[in-house]
């Protein structure tokens, strides 16, 4: 049975000013089953969040969308919504292709106040299905094209290790090179 993975890598703020220790709650709801999962973190960790959620995919109730809501924990303000975004899961292939996206958070009207938040920040996330019998997820992240098992012998272990680390460093720099954060106060 395939599993749907959602990995939120980073979250940038819009026009908000936060303390580094302000608590943030991230809710992920899968539809049509309305399964909810929560994650708590402090604001200073949002730029390197990298948290993964896993959802079971069944043929009777396939996941059609994920709704992600980000709130600031506040006893007095009734946990104001910082932003939301949706992921349409019907367009994600079961083959395991990784969708790496940067999206703008949408504002939501907060019922306790009359203000509508305009610039809510951005989120970088990855979403994919992991199907049994397919290659492990980590192998798909670091390879391009067809996978082949390297021929490792005592003579070329160091050569292979250097080549692998160089390829991983290049992949990381390519990924981080595409991340853009917009700060507006």
pLDDT of residue 151: 46
Whether 55 and 4 have beta carbons less than 8 Å apart is answered as yes
Whether 103 and 125 have beta carbons less than 8 Å apart is answered as yes
Tokens, residue 147: 């996978």
Measured CA to CA, the distance from residue 21 to residue 5 in angstroms comes to: 28
Tokens, residue 97: 């292709």
Whether residue 56 is predicted with pLDDT greater than 50 in this model: the reply is: yes
Q: What is the pLDDT of residues 106-156, one digit of tens each?
A: 765 544 554 444 566 788 888 888 876 655 444 344 333 344 444 444 444
- Domain-wise residue ranges, the chain: 3-177
Least confident of 24-28, 32-36, 53-57, 76-80: 76-80
Measured CA to CA, the distance from residue 132 to residue 14 in angstroms comes to: 39
Q: Say what the pTM is.
A: 0.61
pLDDT band at 104 (very low <50, low <70, confident <90, very high): confident
Helices (H), 24-97: none
The CATH code of the domain at 3-177 is 2.60.40.150
Measured CA to CA, the distance from residue 15 to residue 4 in angstroms comes to: 32
Residue partners of 96: CB distance under 8 A and separation at least 6: 128, 129, 130, 131, 134, 135, 137, 140
Whether 121 and 81 have beta carbons less than 8 Å apart is answered as no
């Amino acid at each position: 049975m395939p599993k749907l993975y959602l990995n939120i890598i980073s979250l940038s703020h819009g026009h908000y000013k936060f303390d580094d220790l302000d608590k943030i709650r991230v809710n992920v709801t899968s539809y049509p089953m309305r399964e909810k999962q929560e994650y708590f973190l402090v604001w200073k960790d949002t730029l390197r969040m990298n948290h993964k959620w896993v959802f079971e995919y069944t043929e009777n109730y396939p996941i059609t969308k994920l709704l992600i809501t980000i709130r600031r924990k506040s006893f007095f303000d009734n946990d104001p919504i910082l932003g939301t975004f949706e992921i349409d899961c019907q367009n994600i292939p079961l083959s395991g292709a990784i969708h790496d996206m940067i999206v703008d958070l949408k504002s939501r009207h907060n019922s306790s106040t009359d203000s509508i938040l305009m610039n809510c920040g951005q989120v970088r996330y990855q979403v994919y299905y992991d199907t049994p019998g397919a290659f492990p997820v980590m192998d798909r992240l670091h390879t391009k094209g067809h996978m082949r098992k390297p021929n490792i012998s005592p003579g070329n272990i160091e050569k292979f290790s250097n080549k692998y680390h160089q390829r991983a460093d290049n992949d990381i720099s390519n990924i981080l090179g595409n991340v853009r954060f917009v700060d507006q106060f």
